[in-house]
Amino acid sequence: DGGITQSPKYLFRKEGQNVTLSCEQNLNHDAMYWYRQDPGQGLRLIYYSQIVNDFQKGDIAEGYSVSREKKESFPLTVTSAQKNPTAFYLCASWTGAGNTIYFGEGSWLTVV
């Protein structure tokens, strides 16, 4: 079955360390997205990509970086510059107007 796989599901990071969250999809979707969700809040867009080797900043891109070297993969790196990285991170993919947005199961990142 097609879908999106995020890993790891739970991750603990020491302050000052970079960490990379994986997002892989086998849906053949062009568009992929990363969101951050804090407790009791909605999803805020970090980065998105419409095609391979191209991506755009979302509303809260500072302290994050992404790459899109393959259509199937859109990893997110949370850098040490991100001041408050503890959150729930969601990856999504989409094929365009009228179609369902697919989500991974999410990754919980905790800074210790």
Partner 1 sequence: RKEVEQDPGPFNVPEGATVAFNCTYSNSASQSFFWYRQDCRKEPKLLMSVYSSGNEDGRFTAQLNRASQYISLLIRDSKLSDSATYLCVVNVYNQGGKLIFGQGTELSVKP
Which positions touch partner 1 (CB under 8 A)? 31, 33, 35, 41-45, 48, 50, 56, 58, 88, 90, 92, 94, 96-98, 100-101, 103-106
Q: How far is the CB of 12 from partner 1 (least distance, A)?
A: 17
**C-beta pairs of 105-108 under 8 Å, 24+ apart in sequence:** 105/6, 105/9, 106/6, 106/9, 107/6, 107/7, 107/8, 107/9, 107/10, 107/11, 107/21, 108/9, 108/10, 108/11
Q: Tokens 């407790």 — which residue? A: 39
- Residue 11 or 80 having the CB closest to partner 1: 11
Q: How far is the CB of 90 from partner 1 (least distance, A)?
A: 6
- Residue 73 or 88 having the CB closest to partner 1: 88
- Residue 50 or 80 having the CB closest to partner 1: 50
